[in-house]
Amino acid sequence: MSSVEQKQPLSDGPDWSFELLGQYQAEIERVAKLYKLDTYPNQIEVITAEQMMDAYSSVGMPIGYNHWSYGKKFIQTEQNYKRGFMGLAYEIVINSNPCIAYLMEENTMTMQALVMAHACYGHNSFFKNNYLFRTWTDASSIIDYLVFAKQYLSHCEEKYGISEVEDMLDSCHALMNYGVDRYKRPQKISMDEEQKRQKDREAYLQSQVNQLWKTIPNKGDLSAEHEYRFPSEPQENILYFIEKNAPLLKPWQREVVRIVRKISQYFYPQKQTQVMNEGWATFWHYTILQHMYQENLVTDKFILEVLHNHTNVVFQPEYHSKYYSGINPYALGYAMFTDLRRICEHPTEEDKEWFPDIAGSDWLETLHFAMQNFKDESFISQYLSPKIIRDFHLFAITDDDKESTLEVAAIHNAEGYQQIRQTLSAQYNLSNIEPNIQVYSADITGDRSLTLRFIPNKRIPLSDNFQQVLKHVHRLWGFNVQLEQLNEDGSVKLLGSCPL
Amino acid sequence: MAHFIDRRLNGKNKSAVNRQRFIRRYKQQIKQAVSDAISKRSVTDINNGEKVSIPGKDITEPFFHQGQGGHRERVHPGNDQFSPGDKIKRPQGGQGGGSGQGDASADGEGEDEFVFSISKDEYLDLLFEDLELPNLKKNQLDKLVQYKNVRAGFRSEGVPTNIDIVRSLQGSLARRVAMTAGKKRELHELEAKLALVEAEPVPDQHQLMALREQIELLEKRIGAVPFIDSFDLRFRNFQKRPEPTSKAVMFCLMDVSGSMDQATKDMAKRFYILLYMFLSRSYKNVEVVYIRHHTQAKEVDEQEFFYSQETGGTIVSSALKMMADIVKDRYNPAEWNIYAAQASDGDNWADDSPQCADLLAQQILPFVRYYAYIEITPRPHQSLWLEYEKLQQSFDNFAIQPIRQVADIYPVFRELFKKQAA
């Protein structure tokens, strides 16, 4: 790639045309191929700002079922946009095959090129190759599945009324984060199968449920009965448990639970790869466009506009800035991938000590390996280098409610690197962020009550709105629902129940 | 490996259904906000939507998340002063300044109001929803006719002030060309002949004489064609065209004595809004005059009309007198369509009521297009109603209706105007 041939620069706009988009896309694709970016085919859609707001409010699903909460999001987006509180994103990209990317009409030619490099080659290759996406999502069938979900739900609305369906969706949305199997590899979802199987499933599921609840208490062996707990092990996938076991749900309601569960699962990898995904895409839009600049394919004016936007994207405000709202995933991700390349190409003594296996290796291979096999948590704990910690001036704060003050646990010095790396990595661990709540038992022989158990992580309590969520669980379960807390000392405290 | 799709022409209202769902779900709150808003709104302001705000806590979507407290560790960027082991005072207000990734208010739960705008149609739908407002039909109102002079082409007779010079001269030119063209051609031929004869070495004098004589004669005849003739004159033509006047004035009369409470006034206000909407569909300009009265009448602005407190007795005739005066002063019945709506709770000094009936019959009803009286009261009718009832039989532009609750307003309104349409 060092042999740089001189070419005629492409027009730098500012207005774009479809012809020009095509030329840029072809060049970007050629450069992406040089860097071995493996992508789904691209479907690039040009849309207006209003359509971008529509896309926003359906949380990035190109086809969403109807629900009031999306209307709320739309109204909020519209309000903010109209008042000028926020700009719209330049692009939205969807993990599907072909990979759908939206370009906004208002962008300049330069921005369109930046967005194409970022979304259509950066994000796209990430979606196709990262292990989480490969495991959890099936890009070729998601559009079909969303079509199925939308049709099914509107069919239900016709049959059972909008309010009934809305109630179900409300309750399922409240438990959306608890609709994922973290450790079991999920099945792929596609519309054909889905429709074929859906009818059979209704009947089958109901028969299973009936079987479970038909159990008339067996008067014979009372002592054995007390030993028996259902489920035999706690279940982390609450929605799945409800779908399979809730006594009173009708078959269509079980299907609604399933739809929400599947969509939650589709978004599960995105929650865990924010830093990596954005970092990867940002790294590639920068690298690809710089490559084109060196080939003289783009003008000075073009690259200056790119750099201007790029620096805005990777800006990291400091902790005391009024713009500070946590670590910017674009900034951290981009810095880490850039640093990885540096470690491979120009390792220092420190790098050789910290990263003996990659210092001096082929950078492209190392980057691809890192992109394919990690999520944010493991990526940081594997690759966060002392240089990045120094560059960002990272420091760790311990906030213990038993102490009257906060304490600085570690800073960017030799003693602190390891701890900062661990703390930052833990910060991206979903199980540290989302409360650990599992189905503990369902009293199938007695009053049919459901017991959920909350296990606090480092004594962090549950937010006090849990009572409202319990109402939703109760609606789905149909009988009493209790929420317990398992304390560190092994004691169990009843947090709440519904009905009260 | 890529293809482009231009989606810009696709509809942009993909979220419209979801927006409707949202409004449907929060109808109660939004309706409350709309009825609150009506008190802040002007009677004549019907062309705008409304900004609606509903409490933020009503629309949150709950989910399990972490509360405050416990043991946390967080990494922040930009260390400029800390060393390991430093103790820092806990920032006030929970975790402000300190904690990064959204555990402070991840659920968006706050007491903030959720504010958004609804369109004019949504506003009117919600406002009159419990009135079951159908689409208002444009009733054929009995409109006042005015005449206006309009240009209507040209004519050949008229007064000198209306002469159209351009048209007249065009006619003159055409006539002159028509009358002289043949003669001029003949003249040219004779002149050519004369030139030939003159060019001969020995001109035939006799012939010359004859030619010159003919030429002279022709020139005389051409000169005799007049430059302008009365036949050429064209006059601008005007016609009188009947034109319905687009001016209307709406009188709002209301009793503001102590017995009228704010709820009653709000009911009256809705009635006035309906009337205004109705009139503004038929007329370009609708002016509104507010007259309030207790024992004395006063012309006021809208704000004072609806929201100032008064006490005291009630003499309705004072307002009627004032209306008659205002009509005389400012709204010539020959130019204005006059409408009036009177709202009251029915109280009046007993011996004033016959006087009211007289005033209406003699000074007001002959001039107004329509006069509606609504009595907002759950109680039995009193003297004013009884007097008005008698009046109703002799005037078909006079209508009275009782209103007991908000839900009555629209049916009453329709009742009042149905009669007029028939």
Place of tokens 């054929």: B140
pLDDT tier at A216 (50, 70, 90 boundaries)? low
Cβ within 8 Å of B, A 92-121: 102, 105, 120
Q: Chain B contact for A22, CB < 8 A? A: yes
- Of A401, A416, A459, nearest to B84 by CB-CB distance is A416
Q: How many whole angstroms separate alpha carbon B395 and alpha carbon A117?
A: 80
Q: What are the pLDDT digits (tens) for A89-128?
A: 677 889 998 999 998 888 889 999 999 999 999 999 999 9
Per-residue confidence band for A228, with pLDDT thresholds at 50, 70 and 90: low
Which pLDDT score is estimated for A222? Answer: 46
- B100 chain-A contacts, CB cut-off 8 A: 324-327
The single residue listed with the structure tokens 């590639």 is: A284
* CB burial of residue A207 (10 Å; 0-12, 13-18, 19+): exposed
Edge-to-edge strand order for the sheet containing A91-94?
A: A91-94, A99-104, A42-47, B2-6
Q: Cα(B351)–Cα(A155) distance, rounded to whole angstroms? A: 68
Instruction: Compare A158 and A183 and report the one with higher pLDDT.
Output: A158
pLDDT for res B14: 72
Residue B126: φ, ψ to 5° = -70, -40
Measure the CA angle with vertex A266, ends A261 and A270; round to 5°. Answer: 130
Contact B142, B419 (CB under 8 A): no
pLDDT for the residue numbered B421: 43
Assigned token pair, A271: 């929650």
The pLDDT, as a whole number, for residue B202 is 82
Note whether A194 and A147 are within 8 A (CB): no
Instruction: Give me the total of CB pairs closer than 8 Å, taking one residue from chain A and one from chain B.
Output: 275
- Report in angstroms the alpha-carbon separations of A426 from A355, A390, A422, B72: 21, 19, 6, 11
Question: What pLDDT score was predicted for residue A306?
Answer: 92
Per-residue pLDDT, A284: 96
Average pLDDT over residues A440-463: 89
Q: What is the mean pLDDT of residues A447-464?
A: 90
Spatial CB neighbours of B325, under 8 Å, sequence gap ≥ 6? none
Whole-angstrom Cα distance, residue B371 to residue B421? 14
Mean pLDDT by 10 residues, chain B (422 residues): 82 77 82 68 66 73 87 91 89 47 36 70 65 37 65 86 90 91 90 87 84 90 88 87 74 82 79 76 77 86 78 83 90 82 83 86 84 84 84 82 78 65 40
Question: Which one of A411, A423, A461 has the shortest CB-CB distance to B73?
Answer: A423
Q: Which residues of B touch A396 (CB under 8 A)?
A: 73-76
Integer-rounded Cα Rg, in Å, for chain A is 26
- CA-nearest of B62, B75, B61, B66 to B94 is B66
* Amino acid, res. B411: P
- Contact residues, chain A, for B22 at CB < 8 Å: 68-69, 71-72, 75
Backbone dihedral angles phi then psi of residue A440, each to the nearest 5 degrees: -95, -50
- What residues of B are in contact with residue A170 (Cβ under 8 Å)? 61
A contact test, residue of B20, B74, B92 with most A CBs within 10 A? B74
pLDDT at A464 over 60: yes
- Residue B197 φ then ψ, to 5°: -65, -45
The closest alpha carbon to B421, from B147, B251, B413, belongs to B413
pLDDT number for residue A282: 94
Cα(B166)–Cα(B173) distance, rounded to whole angstroms?
Answer: 11
pLDDT (tens digit per residue) in A185-213: 655 556 666 676 677 777 777 777 766 66
Which of B387, B416, B96, B107 shows the shortest CA–CA distance to B275? Answer: B416
- Chain A nearest CA to B406, separation (Å): 28
Which residue would you say has higher pLDDT here, B200 or A156?
Answer: A156
With a cut of 80, say whether residue A86 has pLDDT above it. no
What pLDDT does residue A280 have? 96
Most confident residue range from A233-237, A254-258, A445-449:
A254-258
pLDDT at A226 over 70: no
* Amino acid A80: pLDDT: 76
Q: Which residues of A touch B61 (CB under 8 A)?
A: 69, 170, 173-174
- Cβ-defined contact of A71 to B63 (cutoff 8 Å): no
Judge: A406–B90 Cβ closer than 8 Å, yes or no: yes
What six digits make up the tokens of A382?
């594997």
DSSP A108-153: -HHHHHHHIIIIIIIIHHHHHH-HHHHHH--TTTHHHHHHHHHHHH
Q: Are A318 and B78 a contacting pair at CB < 8 A? A: yes
Chain B nearest C-alpha distance from A469 (Å): 6
Looking at beta carbons, which residues of chain A come within 8 Å of B30?
none
Q: For a pLDDT cut of 70, what percent of chain A falls above it?
A: 90
Nearest Cα to Cα of residue A205 among A234, A259, A243, A174? A243
Contacts of B55 in chain A (CB under 8 A): none
Whole-number pLDDT of residue A2: 44
pLDDT tens profile A301-357: 999 999 999 999 899 999 988 888 889 999 999 999 999 999 999 999 999 999 999
Task: Give the best residue of A16, A28, A51 to mutate against chain B (max B CB count within 10 A).
Answer: A51
Peptide bond into A186 cis (omega under 30): no
Query: Could you tell me the pLDDT band of residue A5, with boundaries at 50, 70 and 90?
Result: low
Question: Quick check: helix, strand or coil at residue B322?
Answer: helix
* DSSP H stretches of helix in B26-63: 27-38
Q: Does the pLDDT value for residue A252 go beyond 50?
A: yes
Dist. CA B119–CA B139, nearest whole Å:
25
By DSSP bridging, strand A436-442 and strand A405-410 are: unpaired
Residues in chain B: 422
What's the confidence (pLDDT) of residue B112?
59
Q: Which two tokens stand for residue A200?
A: 């059979």
Q: Report the pLDDT value the prediction gives residue A186, as an integer from 0 to 100.
A: 55
Query: A416-428, pLDDT tens digit by residue?
Result: 999 999 999 999 9
Q: What is the mean pLDDT of chain A?
A: 87
d(CA A107, CA A113): 10
Over residues A68-72, the mean pLDDT reads: 86
The stretch A165-169 carries a mean pLDDT of 93
The backbone torsions φ and ψ at residue B136, rounded to the nearest 5 degrees and listed phi first, read -70, 130
Predicted local distance difference test score (pLDDT) of residue B308 = 74
Q: How far apart are CA B384 and CA B386, in angstroms?
A: 5
Task: Judge whether residue A250 has pLDDT over 60.
Answer: yes
